[in-house]
Structures are given as C-alpha cells and as structure tokens.
Amino acid sequence: MKKYNFSPGPAILPASVFKEAAKGIVNYQDSGLSLLEMSHRGPEFTAIIEEATALVKELMNLPAGYEVLWLTGGASTQFFMAPMNLLDAGETAAYVDTGTWANKAIKEAKAFGNVQVLASSKEQNYNHIPKGVKIPKDVKYLHLTSNNTIFGTQYHKFPKSPAPIVCDMSSDFLSRPVDVAPFGLIYAGAQKNLGPSGVTVVIVREDLLGKVNRHLPSMLDYRTFIKEQSMYNTPPVFPVYVSMLTLRWLKKLGGTKVMQRRNKLKAGLLYDEIDANPLFVGTAAREDRSLMNACFVMNKGYESLEKEFLALCENNGLVGLKGHRSVGGFRASIYNAMPKQGVQALAELMRDFATKKG
C-alpha cells in the first residue's frame, strides 16, 4: 500500500531524495566508501556543502550581504542564539506571539535584553495571526514565526517593519518566494521542508553582527560559522547532504514560485473539503490558514467519530494526521514534498466518511 506521510516534522521528503541518500550511505558515488565515513574536509563533502549553500542563495534569491550557515541544535537553539548575537543588554527586541514556538523564542530572549511582546493570539488559542501590529521604531529587531506548525496559521504577508525582521521559518522555508530584504536573520530547522533533523539553516545579514558586548563562545557566534564556512568543527554531514539533495529537487521542479503554486493548489483542495464537509471544521482563521499545516477537528455533534476517522486514515496509508494536543483533532502537514495525490486521497477519504456517516 502506498503511504502518504502527513507528519509535522520530521516530515516527508521527496522519494527520489531518500533513494539517493541511501545509495550514498553504502557507496558514495562509487568511491567504495560510505559518505558517513568521509572526512568533512575532503572534496566530496566540501562540494556538497558548497552546493547546498549556493542553492539556498539561488532559491531564496539572496541579496548581497547575506550569509547562509549550517548549524545544529534546531530552531530551539536559535531562540537564544539570535538574541545572544543581536540584542545587547538594555536594548529592546519586539516579538509577536503567534504560538508555542514564538512563545519559547520570547522566553529564551528575555535573558539577553528587553523583550516587548507587541501582540499575542494566545487568548484565542493562537487561531489567528494578530493584525495591525504597530512596530516601534527603536527596537533592535522584530521577531516573527512565519508559520505556526502546531496551530496551522501562517503570515501570508509580513508586516512592514522599521527594524530588521528575525524570523523562524522552520515550517515554511522555501515553500514560497520571500523578499529577503526586510529580514536580518532567518532560521529554519531542516526537518520540515528541507531535510532530516540534525541541521539548521541560518541566513543572516552580516552587518548586524559583532555589535553586542557580551562574550560569545565560538560555537555560538554566527561570525565563526561565516568565517569558517560552517566548518569550524565537524558539521552534521549526512543531514546537510540530504538537504542538498532536496534543494536540487526543488530547483529542478522550478524553485519557490512553482512550490507556491503547488502548495496553494494542495492546500486549496484540502481546505475546500474541510469547508464543504459537514463532519469537519477548520480551527484557524480563514485568512491566516497555513499552506503547510492544515488543522481541523470534528464538527459539533460528530466529536465521537474522531478516533474512527483517524484509524480509517491509518488503514488507508494516510499517516501522521493526529493533531497536536494543543488543538486536538487532525493536522495534515502538506509540505513541499507532499504530492497532490496524497492530499487528494485524504480529501476523498473525508468525503467518503461523510457519505457513510452523514
């Protein structure tokens, strides 16, 4: 049975990427060696990380002055590393609280400077993105979470900000074209749209660095990674390799514009079904619905069917659909690598289920 994986992350990657990655583990490019045992300073891996970096630059259409770095520790490490590098004691950074991860970013930042939370949708269980938020002129940066994996909301338009935007793009990185110019720092744990877990991509405007007075350990200073091209110490070779393969796939398909078109089409199919189906209801405000994570629950009166539908999905090869405990119900994560057929299969199953139960 063909399976479709709707997990929120680690998440689906292109089947061709899995195949190629597996080959490299046994015998990398007929070298007689596994990629896992190769020196990170050898020509093989150097070519991989250089290509991965170049592809991010190309696919994100990076302006001059931005660097692409490969780190570890996930977005959770960026929650403190960003303020540690950018926000001096006594300075203020602005945050918008759009969900669990934004909240953690706020918590970690507070140790490094003043944190001004401009808006929060917490009271409404983060079911929307706060609008009309006024961004003070004198803040060091504005922190946003572009897509909220848990609550299924997404910025479809970023607010105009007088300060550089620092953005957690973990769950919608490279899912659409983004004008990078307003951003000072973009970070993304790979394990949603880019690769397996174990690597974090960071895009940073170099001129913002080196302005805080605190001590930065070498491994927590973005400048170390810039200077050594992410090779100050041994990088996570395999996660970087798989990310590079995914980036190649993305470029071959046509880049972020094509991805956006595909993602709109896929999400449209699913949200249309959610809206038309009497058994289900979406949890996020329509205008903020994420193209990456569609959250929905059983409609009023049908709550008792939740387990049955989840089991039906599993039995039909549609896996990873259980919603996060913060929202309940279902969450369909439909990242770049999810084929349209997967979303169609889910929508059809919802339709069939409604016919049977309605």
Provide the mask over 227-246, with x wherever binding to a copy of itself is found by CB under 8 A and - wherever it is not. -----xxxxxxxx--x----
Q: Which residues of 64-96 are buried (b: 16+ CB within 10 A; e: fewer)?
A: eebbbbbbebbbebbbbbbbbbbbeeebebbbb
State which of residues 62, 226, 231, 319 lies at the interface with a copy of itself (CB under 8 A).
319
Q: Tell me how far apart the alpha carbons of residues 96 and 119 are, in angstroms, rounded to a whole number.
A: 5
Structure tokens at 192: 């949603």
Active site residue 249: no
Query: Is there a contact between 240 and 70 (Cβ–Cβ < 8 Å)?
Result: yes
- Looking at the Cβ atoms of 178 and 337, the one nearer to a copy of itself is 337
In the set 168, 172, 221, 288, the catalytic residue is 168
State which of residues 124, 218, 315, 341 lies at the interface with a copy of itself (CB under 8 A).
218
Query: Is there a contact between 20 and 245 (Cβ–Cβ < 8 Å)?
Result: yes
Question: Which SS3 state, helix, strand or coil, does residue 61 take?
Answer: coil
In the set 70, 140, 172, 192, the catalytic residue is 192
Give yes or no for residue 30 binding a copy of itself (CB under 8 A): no
Structure tokens at 144: 């946003």
State which of residues 47, 54, 89, 111 lies at the interface with a copy of itself (CB under 8 A).
111
Active site residue 101: yes
Query: Is there a contact between 18 and 24 (Cβ–Cβ < 8 Å)?
Result: no
**Cα four-point dihedral sign 61, 65, 70, 71:** negative
Structure tokens at 160: 């105009």
Q: Judged by CB under 8 A, which stretch of 59-67, 100-108, 138-146, 261-269 contacts a copy of itself?
A: 100-108
Query: Is there a contact between 81 and 108 (Cβ–Cβ < 8 Å)?
Result: no
- Looking at the Cβ atoms of 184 and 239, the one nearer to a copy of itself is 239
Give yes or no for residue 153 binding a copy of itself (CB under 8 A): no
Structure tokens at 240: 């970087």
By CB atoms closer than 10 A (0-12, 13-18, 19+), residue 358 is: exposed
Give yes or no for residue 184 binding a copy of itself (CB under 8 A): no
Active site residue 257: no
Q: Tell me how far apart the alpha carbons of residues 313 and 317 are, in angstroms, rounded to a whole number.
A: 6
Which residues in the 39-98 window bind a copy of itself by CB under 8 A? 39-40, 72-77, 79-80, 84
In the set 70, 97, 101, 288, the catalytic residue is 101
Provide the mask over 186-215, with x wherever binding to a copy of itself is found by CB under 8 A and - wherever it is not. ---x-x----xxxx---------------x
Give yes or no for residue 13 binding a copy of itself (CB under 8 A): yes
Catalytic residue ranges: 101, 168, 192
Q: Which residues sit at the interface with a copy of itself, rule CB under 8 A? A: 1-3, 5, 7-13, 18-19, 21-23, 25-26, 32-34, 36-40, 72-77, 79-80, 84, 104, 107-108, 111, 189, 191, 196-199, 215, 217-220, 232-239, 242, 317, 319-320
